[in-house]
Amino acid sequence: MAIRQFSVLVLGAGGVGKSALAVRFVRDTFLENYDPTIEERYRRRTTVDDETSLLDILDTAGADQFVSSNELSIRSSHGFVLVFSLTQEASLKEVDNLRKLLYRIKGSDNSIPIVVVATKLDLSNEREVQRSTIQALANRWAIPFYETSAKRDWHVTDVFEDLLRQMRKQCPAERTTKCASGCFLM
C-alpha cells in the first residue's frame, strides 16, 4: 500500500511551546531556548495502527502574527494542533479564537481533525489553567485535549497519533484520488 501524506498545522499564541512540541515529535529533542518562529516545516514518517504515513508539519508564528496571512495554510491543511500553555491562561483564549477561525474557514461541522494541546505540564508550580477548565472545554468543544511536556516527552506522541487517526478517518485508504479533506496517496 502507498504511504499517505497528511499536512498538519500547529497554531497557538507566541511562546506557548509550539516549536518545542513539533521538534520533540519529529527529532526527539527538546529546544531549550525560545527563538520566535516565523515558519518551520518538519516531516516525519510514522507508523500508527500498523499503517505508515508521512506527516508534513507546519509550525507557525504566534497567532497574533499569524492572523489571516496564512488562511491558505488553513485551507490546505488536513489536521490542526491548537497549542496553549498551562502557565498562561490567556493562551487558552487564543486557542478558542483559532478554533473558531478554523470552523469559519474549513466549515463548522465537527469533522475537522483537531487536537488541543496544553504544554508545559512539567511546570506544575507555575500552572494557571486548571484541569477542570480543560475538561469542561473538551466536553463542550468535543475535541480531544492533551496535557504535554516537550521537555520531559510526556504525551507528545499521543497528540500526533490521535490527530493522524482523525485524518485517516476523514480520508479512508480505499479512496485513491484526492479526498474532500485534501489528502493524497503517494
Q: Please write the tens of the pLDDT for every residue from 108-144.
A: 766 899 999 999 999 999 999 999 999 999 999 999 9
Domain assignment present for 186 = no
- Residues contacting residue 88 through CB under 8 Å, at least 6 positions apart: 13, 15, 16, 128, 129
Q: Which three cell numbers stand for residue 5?
A: 501524506
Listed as own residue / partner, the contacts of 173-178 with beta carbons closer than 8 Å and 24 or more positions apart are 173/1, 173/4, 173/51
Domain assignment present for 129 = yes
Q: Which three cell numbers stand for residue 111?
A: 469533522
pLDDT in the model for residue 176: 37
Q: Which parts of the chain register pLDDT below 70?
A: 1, 36-37, 63-70, 109-110, 174-186
Q: Say how many domains are in the chain.
A: 1
Write the DSSP symbol of residue 29: -
pLDDT in the model for residue 177: 42
Domain assignment present for 152 = yes
| Residue-number span of the structural domain to which 19 is assigned | 4-170
pLDDT in the model for residue 174: 60
Domain assignment present for 180 = no
pLDDT in the model for residue 62: 72
pTM (predicted TM-score): 0.90
Domain assignment present for 79 = yes
Domain assignment present for 176 = no
Domain assignment present for 126 = yes
Residue 49 belongs to domain with CATH number: 3.40.50.300
Domain assignment present for 181 = no
